[in-house]
Chain A
Amino acid sequence: MRRYFGRKLLVYGLTFFVAVTVNWLIPRFMPGDPVQSMLSRANVSQPAAVEAMRLHYTSMFGFDQPLWRQYLNFWGALLRGDLGISIWLFPTPVTDVIVRAVPYTLGLLVPAILLSWVAGNRFGAFAARRRWLDNSVLPLGYVLTATPYMWLAILLAWALGIVAGIFPVAGAYSFAMRPELSWAFAGSLLQHWFLPFASLFLVAFGGWAIGMRNMIIYELEADYVTYLRSLGAPGRLVRRYAFRNAILPQITGLALQLGVLVAGALVTEIVFSYPGLGHLILQAVQNQDFFLLQGTFLFIVLGVLVANFVVDVAYVLVDPRTRAGMGGAA
C-alpha cells in the first residue's frame, strides 16, 4: 500500500512539475509575442507611453533576464503564492481573483460529479440485462455523453429559463442582491445554481450509466457468477456481487474523467455567466490577461491532482486487495 501511494504521489509530483514548466514555456516559445498583443490591445498612440508599457510588461514576464534565471524566478514566485497581477481587474493579484471564483466552481462541480456518479452507476446497473430498458435508455445515454456541455446548457437555459421563465439564466445570484446571510439570498443562490448543475449532471450521468451497464454485462459472464447461479443463489445476491466488482473500474473512470468534467464546468459557467473559474478564463481570453489565464491553469491542475489523490484513497478503501498488497489497482 505504501508502494501504491508512493508511486501515485510521484506521478502527481512530476505532473505538477511538468504543468508548471509547460506554463512557463508557452509564453516564451509560442509563435506570437504576448507583450506586443497586450500593447496593441491597450491601443495607446504616444510612442513614449508605448515604450514605457513595453518595459513594464517585459519586466512583469521577466523577459529581460537570462532564461534559467526566469525559470527559477517563476518557481520562486509560485511557491510564495504569487501568480502576478491581473490585467483585467488591475491591480488585484491573480491569486485573489481566483480564490474569489473557486467556491462557485466547486459548488457546481462537486455535487454534479458525486451525484451523477452515484445515480449513473445505480441506474446503469439497473438497466443492464433488462431488455426494454436497455434498448430505450442505452441510445439516450449515448446521445447524452455525445452532447457538448455548452449546448445542453444553452438548450436548458433557453427552454427552462427564457421560454418557460422558471429559472434565471445569468449570474450566481439576483443582480438586485448583495451577498449576505439570509434566506432570500440563499434561495436566489440555489435558483441560479440549479440549471448549470443540471446540465453538468445530465451529460455526466449518461456516461456513468453506460459505463456501468457495460461493466455489469461483462461481470455477469464471469465464472463466479456462473458458479453462484449453479448453487442456486438468488438473482439479487448475484447482482450485488457483480456490482461490487463493476464499481472498481468506475472509480478509475472517475479519476480519468476529472479533466473532462472540469472542462465541462468551465464552458457551462460561460453559458450562464456563472462567476466561477470558467468565467475568469473567458474574461482572461477576451482581455488578453495572460497572468490570470496561467494562474487559473495552475490552479485547475492542482485541483485535479488533489481530486485524483482523493479518488486513489477511495479506491484503497473500496478494494481490499490494494490494502493487502496483492495488486489489483489500476
Chain B
Amino acid sequence: MTTTPAVTEETPVPAVRREALHFALRNGKLVAGLVVVVVFLAAAVVGPMTISYGPNDYVGPAMAAPSGEYWFGTTMFGQDVFAQFVYGLRSTFLVGVLGGGLAALIGMAVGFTAGYRGGLVDEVLNMITNIVLVLPALVVLLVANAYLGVRSIGVQALFIGLTSWPWAARAIRAQTFSLRSRDFVDLARLSGVRTPRIIVREIAPNMSSYLFMTFILLFGGAVLVAASLDFIGLGPTQGVSLGLMLNNAARWSALQLGMWWWFVPPGAGITAVVGALYVMNVGLDEVFNPKLREM
C-alpha cells in the first residue's frame, strides 16, 4: 500500500500538475501500461465497427486455423474468433468500468464517512466492511447469479460492485483518518463549511491520485471476477465476453482438438489488460510518490 502523495498546500496547483506530467512521460512502466490499455481499448471500440456480422453468427468454415481472412480462426461452429474477441473486449471494459466504478463509489462513501466521522459511525461501518471483506465474493456472486433467470453485463457489474468494495473502503478510511486533523481541514471546519463539502473539496482532492489508483485495482479485480463467473457458466445470457469464450472453448473440447486459437486470445486479452493496468499503477505510484522516483 502507498502513503498519501506529499502534495503540500503551499505549492500552486498548476506547478504540481506540470511536475507530475514531467515524471509521468518519463516513467517507462506508466507509458508502457498506458499504451497497452489504449491499444486494447481502441480494439474494443473500433473493432466491432469494422465487422459486418455479429460475434455469434456462423460465417466461416468450422474449426479453421488463423488465416488472412479470419485472423484468429473460427470456432467449432464457424464463428469468427476475432469478432468474438473484439466484442468480448467491450464487455470486459464495460464490466470493469461499471463494476470497478460502483465499488470505488461505495468504498469512497464508506471510507470517507467512517474516517471523517469516527466514533460510533466508524465502528458500525468498520464492522460492515469487515463482514463483507471476509465473505468470499465469487461464491456469493455464484449463488446470486444462479438464481437470476436472465443475466446481463449490467447486473453482473452491479453485483460485482456490491461485493468488491471493502478493501478500498478500508484503505480510504485510513487515508482520511490521517488527513482529517490537518490544519486546512480544521480551518474549513472552523469557517463553517459543512461535512460533505469538506470531504469533497478538502480531503478528496488531497488523495485524488490514491483514489485513482484504487479505482484501477478495482477495475482489474472486477474484470477477473467477471471472467471467472462467465467461465463457470453464469455469464451474460446474451452476447459475448472473454470469459464466455473460454467457457465455450473448454466445453467443446478445444483443448483436445488442438484449437489453440479459440482459448489463447481471450485469456491473453484479459491478462494483457489487467496486467497493463497493474503495471500502470506501479508507474503512477512512482510519479506521485517522490520517495520512489529514484529507482
**Of A138, A143, A285, A290, which is within 8 A of B232 by CB?**
A285
B142 interface residue per 8 A CB criterion = yes
* Interface pair A301/B147, CB less than 8 Å apart: no
Does A308 lie within 8 Å of B275, measured CB to CB?
Answer: no
Residue A166 CB within 8 A of the other chain: no
Q: For window 250-295 of chain B, which residues contact chain A by CB distance below 8 Å?
A: 250, 255-256, 258, 260, 263-264, 266-268, 270-275, 277-279, 282, 291-292
**Which partner residue on chain B sits nearest A289 by CB separation?**
B146
> B116-149 toward A: CB 8 Å interface, digit per residue (1/0)?
0000000000010011011111111011101111
A290 CA to B202 CA, complexed, in Å: 49
A154 and B263 form a contact (CB under 8 A):
yes
- Size of the chain A interface, CB-CB below 8 angstroms: 64
Selected contact of A146 from candidates B231, B243, B274, CB within 8 Å: B274
Binary interface encoding of chain A residues 13-57 relative to chain B, with 1 for a CB under 8 A from any of its CBs, else 0? 011001100110011001110100100000000000000000000
Determine how close the nearest CB of chain A comes to the CB of B173; give it in whole angstroms.
Answer: 13
A63 to chain B, nearest CB (A): 14
Q: Are B267 and A142 in contact (CB under 8 A)?
A: no
Q: Which residues of A contact B149 (CB under 8 A)?
A: 31-32, 37
Q: Judge whether B58 is part of the interface by a CB distance below 8 angstroms.
A: no
Residue B97 at the chain A interface, CB threshold 8 Å:
no
Q: Mark B218-248, 1 if CB is under 8 A from A, else 0.
A: 0010001101100111100000000100100
A286 on the B face (CB < 8 A): yes
B232/A300 in contact, CB under 8 A: no
B142-159 residues at the A interface, CB under 8 angstroms: 142-144, 146-150
Residues on B with beta carbons closer than 8 Å to the beta carbon of A152:
267
Q: Is B167's CB within 8 Å of the partner chain A? A: yes
Closest to A13 in B: B131
CB distance from A23 to the nearest CB of B (A): 7
The docked-state distance in angstroms from the alpha carbon of A117 to that of B255 is: 30
A90 to chain B, nearest CB (A): 18
- With the chains together, A88 CA to B249 CA distance in Å? 24
Asked if residues B139 and A301 are in contact (CB atoms below 8 Å), the reply is yes
CA distance A171 to B45 in the complex (A): 41
A sample of 30 inter-chain contacts (CB < 8 A) reads A11-B127, A11-B130, A14-B131, A19-B135, A32-B147, A32-B148, A32-B150, A139-B279, A142-B275, A147-B271, A148-B270, A148-B271, A151-B246, A151-B266, A154-B263, A157-B255, A158-B263, A169-B255, A260-B138, A263-B136, A263-B138, A266-B138, A267-B231, A270-B250, A285-B142, A285-B146, A290-B146, A293-B142, A297-B143, A301-B135
